[in-house]
Amino acid sequence: MEKIIYLDNNATTKVDERVLEKMLPFYCEQYGNPSSMHSFGGNVSKYLAHAREQVADFVGAQNPYEITFTGCGTESANIAIRGALEINKTRKHIITTKVEHPCVMNTYKWLEKRGYKVTYLDVNSEGELLVDELKDVITDDTALVSIMWANNETGVVFPVEKAAKIIKDKNPKTFFYVDGVQASGKIPMDVSKANIDMLGISGHKFHAPKGVGALYVKRGILLPPLILGGHQERGLRPGTENVSGIVGIGEAAQLAKSYLEDEGTRVKALRDELERGIVKKVFNAKINSTKAQRVPNTSNISFEYIEGELMLLHFADAGICASSGSACTSGSLEPSHVLKAMGVPFTCLHGSIRFSLSRFTTKEEIDYALSVIPPIIEKINGYSPYQKELKELKELRNF
Ligand code: PLP
């Protein structure tokens, strides 16, 4: 395989080999159904129980039964949001932010079409949540607030503990869901301390396989299931358990907790080195959200006056995997709703790239990226229709 420098860990991560090793026995050896009466199957349930404890410890749940295994972060969000509204049936107002992942955003849009009134909280130009706005918008009719813990595009961390306090002070019966998908494995999470009602995470973002997620639901909140079936996961997520995946997410959660310090020091230092190196060598590069608190692995860089997709293709030719915030909708490239909400100028919007590192990222990889990115950008600058503006910018920044 050609050289791959994987800087797209917010999209998905490599499965840690130690995780895979724990999972393998559950395919061809211990493949019994945990619900079976015979011990060959029944024995498997103790591995599910262990994984539940590992995930509970990872997110700060007080009881392992507050953890339900799901298929992904999207499913966790749907069970939590739609379930909470089933409980709070008479209330018709819900709140979220302008920068949520589509799994929350599109669920809210769907609810809006079904008669819910939605308030979308703003972010500032750094991508920080204007959390105090919550005080003014929560009413007696507010059923639910949903806020992400860390943004997938900018890495900006939102003050969920402060949000929980505002919500519970104003209206204790308003539920609070936190999308923890991009915070997990990057910063410490403690749902009990933060007083969060429900939290979703996704295994493939922290070196577990794809196809397994988890949902924390605070004891006492009895969510109804989204799909109907048997008794698995206490009826909240029926269907025969993805045993190997669950064992994997448990192991990955335990490992991720032990790597949090590495993430906050070594990974952050590599991210900062990448950013410093790029702004030093590329006159039209601007790092987004530098003044905000960010998860340590994420960097969002706007390359002014050029197209993100063109950059990604050239990066891919050099073996570098990164991503842009644009979504390809019906043939047109829609700029990122996150950067738009931050008021990022038009000249930067289309040329924003997200680099996201992981515990597997090495100094050699960052050095390599820094050796190939500046010449690529210089070449692409040459294709830009904004030559006059680029020349002025170069002079302005003394290059
Ligand atoms: N929430 C955030 C912030 C994400 O970044 C993602 C995935 O990128 C999700 C939710 C959805 O997770 P999954 O891919 O497991 O459905």
The structure tokens listed for 62 are 């007080």
- For residues 164 and 40, membership in a common domain is answered with yes
- Ligand 1 pocket test, pick from 129, 156, 181, 295 with the greatest ligand atom count within 8 Å of Cβ, gives 181
Residue whose pair of structure tokens reads 């024995």 in the numeric block: 43
186 lines ligand 1 (CB under 6 A): no
Residue whose pair of structure tokens reads 């109907």 in the numeric block: 228
Ligand 1 centre to CA of 19 (Å) is 20
155 lines ligand 1 (CB under 6 A): no
- For residues 173 and 254, membership in a common domain is answered with yes
Query: Counting atoms of ligand 1 from 1, which one is nearest the CA of 204?
Result: 15
Cβ contacts of residue 295 below 8 Å, gap of 6+? Answer: 150, 155, 157, 182, 183, 186, 187
- What's the rounded mean pLDDT across residues 284-304? 97
The structure tokens listed for 268 are 């952050």
pLDDT in tens, 306-351: 999 999 999 999 999 999 876 654 555 788 999 999 999 999 999 9
What is the residue range of 166's domain?
Answer: 17-258
- For residues 45 and 161, membership in a common domain is answered with yes
- For residues 275 and 236, membership in a common domain is answered with no
Q: Whose CA is nearest to atom 9 of ligand 1?
A: 73
Task: Work out the end-to-end distance of the chain between its first and last CA atoms, rounded to an integer number of angstroms.
Answer: 38
Give the pLDDT of residue 48. 98
pLDDT in tens, 170-207: 999 999 999 999 999 999 999 999 999 999 999 999 99
- For residues 44 and 152, membership in a common domain is answered with yes
Among 301, 362, 305, residue whose Cα is nearest residue 153 = 301
Ligand 1 centre to CA of 30 (Å) is 30
Among 192, 112, 116, 180, residue whose Cα is nearest residue 152 = 180
Among 101, 314, 317, 84, residue whose Cα is nearest residue 218 = 84
- For residues 268 and 240, membership in a common domain is answered with no
Among 317, 324, 321, 320, residue whose Cα is nearest residue 301 = 324
- For residues 147 and 209, membership in a common domain is answered with yes
Q: Whose CA is nearest to atom 13 of ligand 1?
A: 73
Ligand 1 centre to CA of 181 (Å) is 6
Find the CATH number of the domain harbouring 342: 3.90.1150.10
- What's the rounded mean pLDDT across residues 34-54? 97
148 lines ligand 1 (CB under 6 A): yes
Give the pLDDT of residue 331. 54
pLDDT in tens, 315-325: 999 999 999 87
Ligand 1 centre to CA of 52 (Å) is 20
Q: Given a cut of 50, is residue 8 above it in pLDDT?
A: yes
CA distance 167 to 134: 7
The rounded percent of the chain whose pLDDT value lies above 90 is 96
- For residues 350 and 325, membership in a common domain is answered with yes
74 lines ligand 1 (CB under 6 A): yes
Query: Counting atoms of ligand 1 from 1, which one is nearest the CA of 151?
Result: 3
Ligand 1 centre to CA of 13 (Å) is 12
Among 285, 249, 293, 247, residue whose Cα is nearest residue 268 = 293
Burial grade of 136 (CB within 10 A; 0-12, 13-18, 19 or more):
exposed
Give the pLDDT of residue 98. 98
Find the CATH number of the domain harbouring 57: 3.40.640.10
Helix (H) or strand (E) holding 57: helix 45-59
- For residues 144 and 269, membership in a common domain is answered with no
Q: Sorting pLDDT into bands at 50, 70 and 90, what band is 2?
A: confident
CA distance 379 to 289: 26
pLDDT in tens, 81-92: 999 999 999 999
- For residues 222 and 324, membership in a common domain is answered with no
Which residues form the catalytic set?
A: 328
- For residues 53 and 135, membership in a common domain is answered with yes
68 lines ligand 1 (CB under 6 A): no
Ligand 1 centre to CA of 121 (Å) is 20
- Structural domain count, the chain: 2
The counts of H helices and E strands in the chain are 17, 15
The domain boundary, picked from 258, 283, 307, lies at 258
- For residues 73 and 189, membership in a common domain is answered with yes
The domain boundary, picked from 204, 235, 258, lies at 258
Helix (H) or strand (E) holding 71: none
Query: Counting atoms of ligand 1 from 1, which one is nearest the CA of 100?
Result: 3
Give the pLDDT of residue 329. 47
Give the pLDDT of residue 102. 96
Give the pLDDT of residue 284. 97
Residue whose pair of structure tokens reads 């395919």 in the numeric block: 27
CA gyration radius, the chain: 22
pLDDT in tens, 100-154: 999 999 999 999 999 999 999 999 999 999 999 999 999 999 999 999 999 999 9
Output 340-346 pairs: Cβ under 8 A, ≥24 positions apart: 341/98, 341/99, 341/122, 341/123, 342/99, 342/123, 342/124, 342/125, 342/126, 342/127, 342/154, 342/288, 342/289, 343/125, 344/125, 344/288, 344/302
- Ligand 1 pocket test, pick from 70, 160, 205 with the greatest ligand atom count within 8 Å of Cβ, gives 205
101 lines ligand 1 (CB under 6 A): yes
- Over the chain, what is the mean pLDDT? 96
The residues pairing with 32 across neighbouring beta strands, listed in sequence order, are: none
Give the pLDDT of residue 19. 98
Q: Sorting pLDDT into bands at 50, 70 and 90, what band is 271?
A: very high
The domain boundary, picked from 258, 289, 315, lies at 258
Query: Counting atoms of ligand 1 from 1, which one is nearest the CA of 11?
Result: 8
Q: Sorting pLDDT into bands at 50, 70 and 90, what band is 31?
A: very high
323 lines ligand 1 (CB under 6 A): no
In the chain, which ranges are E strands?
Answer: 5-6, 67-70, 93-97, 117-121, 142-148, 175-179, 198-202, 213-217, 285-287, 298-303, 320-321, 323-324, 327-329, 332-334, 352-356
Give the pLDDT of residue 326. 65
The dihedral built from the CA positions of residue 1, 6, 182 and 265, taken in this order, carries a sign that is positive
Ligand 1 centre to CA of 22 (Å) is 24
Query: Counting atoms of ligand 1 from 1, which one is nearest the CA of 12?
Result: 8
Amino acid sitting at position 198: M
215 lines ligand 1 (CB under 6 A): no
**Whole-prediction pTM value?**
0.97
The structure tokens listed for 219 are 């004891």
Ligand 1 centre to CA of 244 (Å) is 21
CA distance 236 to 156: 31
Measured in degrees and rounded to the nearest 5, phi and psi for residue 110 equal: -60, -40
- Ligand 1 pocket test, pick from 182, 202, 249, 295 with the greatest ligand atom count within 8 Å of Cβ, gives 202
